Structure 1
């Protein structure tokens, strides 16, 4: 089990050390807010497009380990080269390869981990911890060694991830191959599921937008990069206890209640970011990330399992994840334009409106159920 824990810790350490600081890095190399929005949006679109393609290649070849190594190598190369290319087109190409690799590696890692006899939740927790530690260490690196130093830290961490992957005994679980033909038409006419896909676009879209622009926002309201790293560390670490208590909460109140509570917490969170934009206030709201993101990811797959047919579950979850990427593409582009025209604070007003809409949809879904 230790080798899988190391896989999640090192991979998500790489993300925490790199992804959160890219928007601030783009500013230092004179890429405008509109251009940043275009970079993030195109990257999200390509990631959404490549996820099912890579899943198909993996299923056909059964070469999960080799694919993971190649993807991790792409992450290493893009982070290393990004420090030496300052043009908009160059950064667009490198970021696109980076985000495709990152968002394709996530589900493939989950597939490998789920093929073992170990409890997936206990392994996945170390991903949140790794992300938190990576963000904290990267913030300190930037303070000590300069704006672009986080790219080298992320590249080094990706090398460690590759070494861990080499040591993993990969076994592909084929238990679900005979679940029956996927009835895509029936899935896409399931009103409760379609509503939840839209909720995913709004919820995960704003979360992706936040991950892309939080560094710019925090700097704009007077926060330091070292403090940013500490806050992100606390925010990400706060997901762990909420993921831990989610099974009891789901058993007591139901998975629909837990998901709705997560959306409500996210609505309040973005409202606070917009209305009370001070570093001390933002630092004090770190638990809202655990309550929103932690509970949402703990309940989303279970919620989908409850509202779709068993033989469409895999397809349903893939569409759900792709919807989040599509929402991220839209939110990241619009947010870049908002930053360029009005400032980073206003993107959280935009986020608040989107997630409040998701909250309304969750109550509408409850009426459909009743």
Structure 2
């Protein structure tokens, strides 16, 4: 299991070291809020388009390892080159490839982990630890070496991730039997799955928007870069205990209960960010990320595994993540406009409304089950 733990740690370290600091970096190279929103939105749209295609290719070819190595290489190239290209169009192109690679690798690695005999939660929590450490280290690196230095850190971490993928056992490629067909029609007529895909659009959409603009929001309400790095570290690290207890909570209450609880916590979280926008308050509510994001990611893929056919699992998870990217595209673009017109605080009022809609959909999905 150690090789999978290292895989999650280094990949999410790369994300923590890079994803949260793009909005701050864009400001330093004189890209406006509206342009940032466009960059994030287009990246999310392209990721959304590629995710289900890649999931289907993975289910058909069973070449998980080769695909993971390829997209990890793309992450390295985009992060490295972004240090040398500061034009709007150049950054738009590079960020788009980065978003495609990152958001395609996330569901694929989850699919791989779900086909092993190891407890998914015990592996996934190391992703949260890696993200937290990456965010903290990147914040310190930016303070010491400048606003673009996080790109080198992320690129270096992606190289290590690629080396670890080479060590993953080849047997993970055989996700299902050669004679099994990928029944997309059955997947797309699964009502409970479709409702959960809609939840993904709203829940992951607001989370992607938060990841893109939290640095801008935190700076606007008076927080320092040092406190930002520490806050992100504590927030992400808070996912670990919640993911750790998720296995017991799922066995007692069921996976659907855990996912619904996560959506409820997210709704409350965004409401607090909107109504009590002070650095000390936001830093003090770091556990809210674990209670929302931690529980959601611990339960979402298990929930999907319970409601879809085994031979469509890879496709189902990537479509689910693609829906999150679609939601992210919408949320990121609108958020960029809101920031430009009203300020970053107001995007969290927008997030609150969307998260509440996701909560309603979870109850609707439960009625479909009954």
| TM-score, length-scaled by structure 2 | 0.92
Match of 2:16 in 1: 16
Distance 1:37 1:306, change over 3 A: same
Match of 1:287 in 2: 287
Match of 2:99 in 1: 99
Map 1:1-370 onto structure 2 (within 5 A): 1-59=1-59, 62-174=62-174, 176-177=176-177, 181-308=181-308, 312-370=312-370
CA distance in 2, matches of 1:306, 1:297: 15
Q: Deviations over 1:226-276 (max 9, x none)?
A: 111111111111111111111222222222221111111000000000111
Secondary structure, in 3 states, of the residue corresponding to 1:171? helix
My pick for the range that moved more, 256-265 or 1-10, is 1-10
| Contact 2:243–2:295 (8 Å) recurs in 1 | yes
Unaligned ranges ≥5, structure 2: none
Q: Deviations over 1:28-75 (max 9, x none)?
A: 111111111111111111112222333344455554434333322221
CA distance in 1, matches of 2:48, 2:230: 30
Secondary structure, in 3 states, of the residue corresponding to 1:24? helix
| Contact 1:335–1:347 (8 Å) recurs in 2 | yes
User: What's the offset of the Cα at 1:96?
Assistant: 0.7
| Contact 1:112–1:171 (8 Å) recurs in 2 | no
Secondary structure, in 3 states, of the residue corresponding to 1:172? helix
| Contact 2:270–2:352 (8 Å) recurs in 1 | yes
CA distance in 2, matches of 1:59, 1:303: 19
Distance 1:21 1:103, change over 3 A: same
Report the count of equivalent residues: 370
Distance 1:265 1:59, change over 3 A: closer
User: What's the offset of the Cα at 1:174?
Assistant: 2.8
My pick for the range that moved more, 240-249 or 48-57, is 48-57
| Contact 1:136–1:230 (8 Å) recurs in 2 | yes
CA distance in 1, matches of 2:168, 2:254: 36
CA distance in 1, matches of 2:59, 2:315: 14
| Contact 2:246–2:295 (8 Å) recurs in 1 | yes
| Contact 2:51–2:319 (8 Å) recurs in 1 | no
| Contact 1:179–1:311 (8 Å) recurs in 2 | no
CA distance in 1, matches of 2:173, 2:74: 26
| TM-score, length-scaled by structure 1 | 0.92
| Contact 2:44–2:329 (8 Å) recurs in 1 | yes
CA distance in 1, matches of 2:318, 2:259: 18
Distance 1:362 1:123, change over 3 A: closer
Distance 1:118 1:43, change over 3 A: same
CA distance in 2, matches of 1:239, 1:330: 26
Distance 1:322 1:244, change over 3 A: same
User: What's the offset of the Cα at 1:311?
Assistant: 5.5
CA distance in 1, matches of 2:312, 2:169: 29
My pick for the range that moved more, 177-186 or 211-220, is 177-186
Q: Deviations over 1:94-139 (max 9, x none)?
A: 1011111112222333344445454433222211111000000111
| Contact 1:142–1:226 (8 Å) recurs in 2 | no
| Contact 2:55–2:318 (8 Å) recurs in 1 | no
User: What's the offset of the Cα at 1:341?
Assistant: 0.9
